[in-house]
Structure 1
């Protein structure tokens, strides 16, 4: 099935999928090592974050979902999700002074600092580190870009092409909206997928609290659409050709 836009009624399904999927990525253990001791906190704040992502009024962000069933005839449900920063829309509308919405700060302001499932030093360093990496590798291109923040697929539905289909939707979106690129901070799990899809690695960066040995290694990757040109065929019709 083709990906579709996530809507507020998907909140419970997406939250459940995130909680089941994201622990496969090392960054989840780095940020939330106490989630098994405090599952209620983990669910509460994960749900709160995705409530923002799925809220149409929080329009710097867009969620795409893919649905599937394990067997023909079974009911379908959300099995894959992608969260995209599309703040380029509001930057176009309001100009260079526009300040993008920050969902992490919103959650923190609603009590995230008291959550017991997180290592707060790691949590804060992860978010600040991504901001630093974005400014270094992607910001020089300007506002005409979108960013893939989160991508995941339930384990039992992996290798069915769902994550790829969400990425390809976004790659097509970049082309249709005449954006310069789509960026992503890739974990070791996602690096091969993005490489196969045509993303290029532009740098390596590290998430590490000063004085600690534990760290995350992530890859800054970028997809730049190929240029489309209109050429004239012998009968005079325009034809789009990818170069």
Structure 2
């Protein structure tokens, strides 16, 4: 179960993992309530997003995958993956004013209002909320950090330590590259795992479109190699996300 670097050739497998895993998380229904009526759109734009993430030219993003045998004695397939914002590398190279690549916005612009699987107000608020929450809770830390954008494991392979192995790989990278922290916007689905791994909660925040009763409650969490807890305020904020 040792993670390896995700490659462009993994796009079909990674898309399969996300489509079969993320409906377990409430934020997927919140953003894509019409995916059953329009499965072709749902697959098309989900795959497009991971084409960007797996493209080596999008080097602000790093995908790591884990393979296992779906059938006993069968060949190994991708059963889990994680996506990290590692733009700290380019910020070290070009300076803190460097602007991180944004594949999510590119996919949304290409889909526009013709994309039928999504609630566009929820989708946009979800992404805008993530940006607001990241700035509020982690902006003062500066560029020397990485962010776990998404972590997904096929349901039949959960509770086997696969998600933990991906997180531990990234935690070691934080230590090796002397970063200040790794952040994540955690849903209830992932909160228990991150707490067990030693992440600390630094704030609670909400996804909410004005005028609606429906909202998502999420947690801003961080892992720091040192056990220092000074200077991090625990508070509430509006906006955020767990997955892209």
- TM superposition score normalised by structure 1: 0.91
Distance in 2 of aligned mates of 1:102 and 1:2: 28
Contact 1:84 1:149 in 2 (8 A): yes
Instruction: Note the C-alpha offset of 1:139.
Output: 1.0
- 1:219: which partner in 2? 219
1:128 aligns with 2:132: no
Distance in 2 of aligned mates of 1:113 and 1:127: 16
Give the SS at the match of 2:82: strand
Give the SS at the match of 1:57: coil
Distance in 1 of aligned mates of 2:68 and 2:222: 28
* Structure 2 counterparts to residues 95-174 of structure 1, below 5 A: 95-174=95-174
Give the SS at the match of 2:64: strand
Contact 1:45 1:112 in 2 (8 A): no
Instruction: Note the C-alpha offset of 1:71.
Output: 4.5
1:205 aligns with 2:202: no
- Distance change >3 Å, CA 198–CA 144, structure 1 → 2: same
- 1:231: which partner in 2? none
Distance in 2 of aligned mates of 1:203 and 1:63: 26
| Number of residue-to-residue matches in the alignment | 227
Which structure ranks higher in relative contact order (CA pairs < 8 Å, sequence separation ≥ 6)? 2
Distance in 2 of aligned mates of 1:223 and 1:113: 37
* Structure 2 counterparts to residues 182-193 of structure 1, below 5 A: 182-193=182-193
Q: Which runs of 5+ in 1 are unaligned?
A: 228-243
Give the SS at the match of 1:62: strand
Deviation per CA, 1:89-141, whole angstroms, max 9, x where unpaired?
11111002211101111112323432100000000000000100000001110
Instruction: Note the C-alpha offset of 1:214.
Output: 0.2
User: C-alpha root-mean-square deviation of aligned residues, in Å?
Assistant: 1.0
